[in-house]
Chains A and B, each alone.
Chain A
Amino acid sequence: EAGVAQSPRYKIIEKRQSVAFWCNPISGHATLYWYQQILGQGPKLLIQFQNNGVVDDSQLPKDRFSAERLKGVDSTLKIQPAKLEDSAVYLCASSGGAVETQYFGPGTRLLVL
């Protein structure tokens, strides 16, 4: 069974530029999550989707971050404009339902200069 796929794996941009990350969850998983992991910290949830609806985006900086999950499968996370403090690993995870185990992708390492 294929795992969670993410791309790109690495991205370097300058501040004020925009960037987008893509995630393809495990087939059949209805719930998709985006987490931000700053160096030396544990991951923190940015947004959770159930199918193509948003369940929780309370920690998403909505002035610069946006996310969508078209057709309830793939998802994209966008940052526009990026700030230095957005440098982090962005992890996508999926699960088969409420409080089921979340399986993570390899992450996208973002460096904002």
Chain B
Amino acid sequence: AQKVTQAQTEISVVEKEDVTLDCVYETRDTTYYLFWYKQPPSGELVFLIRRNSFDEQNEISGRYSWNFQKSTSSFNFTITASQVVDSAVYFCALSEEAGNTDKLIFGTGTRLQVFP
């Protein structure tokens, strides 16, 4: 069965600290897609990144970086030099290619609080 686990419920850091959000997934499919979304207090889910199961290259976008490791079924997200504006709930999600639906299976989210 598909499952996404975000074991960290809440993380608090002080501005300029680096922080890593963990994501572990379960799937029986060989072709799947992983996502990270940010949900600020306004409530809208903001897309951050999409990776497919055949691309294990790490990705960096500004202060954001992602580490995808199929061997451990993990897709971790690191924010370097965190800022107050990074405060939000972050969701990791999984989508499979098989079947009729490509619904997203979300984890329970990690609330990140960045203090000045």
Residue of A nearest to B100 (CB): A55
Contact check, B106 vs A44: say whether CB atoms are below 8 A apart: yes
**What total of chain A residues lie within 8 Å of the partner, measured CB to CB?**
27
B57 CB-CB contact with A under 8 Å: no
Most B-side CB within 10 Å, residue of A31, A98, A104: A104
A91 CB-CB contact with B under 8 Å: yes
Residues of chain A within 8 A (CB-CB) of B103 are 33, 45, 48, 56
A-B contacts, 22 of them at CB < 8 A, read A41-B108, A42-B91, A42-B108, A42-B109, A43-B106, A45-B101, A45-B103, A45-B104, A48-B101, A55-B100, A56-B100, A56-B103, A89-B43, A91-B45, A98-B102, A99-B102, A100-B102, A101-B47, A102-B104, A104-B44, A104-B45, A106-B43
Query: How far apart sit A48 and B95, CA to CA, in the bound complex (Å)?
Result: 13
Chain A window 24-51, contacts with chain B (Cβ cutoff 8 Å), 1 for yes, 0 for no: 0000000101010000111111001000
Please give the distance in Å from A25's CB to the nearest CB on chain B: 14
Contact check, B43 vs A99: say whether CB atoms are below 8 A apart: no
A109 CB-CB contact with B under 8 Å: yes
A22 CB-CB contact with B under 8 Å: no
Interface positions, chain B 32-59, Cβ under 8 Å from A, are: 33, 35, 37, 42-47, 50
User: Contact residues of B with A, CB < 8 Å?
Assistant: 4, 33, 35, 37, 42-47, 50, 91, 93, 95-97, 100-104, 106-109
Residues of chain B within 8 A (CB-CB) of A102 are 47, 104
Residues of chain B within 8 A (CB-CB) of A109 are 43
- Given A98-B97, A99-B33; A42-B106 close (CB under 8 Å): yes
Query: How far apart sit A29 and B95, CA to CA, in the bound complex (Å)?
Result: 18
Residue of A nearest to B4 (CB): A42
Residues of chain B within 8 A (CB-CB) of A104 are 37, 44-47
A103 CB-CB contact with B under 8 Å: yes
Please give the distance in Å from B103's CB to the nearest CB on chain A: 4
Residues of chain B within 8 A (CB-CB) of A56 are 100-101, 103
Residues of chain B within 8 A (CB-CB) of A40 are 108
Residues of chain B within 8 A (CB-CB) of A107 are 43-44
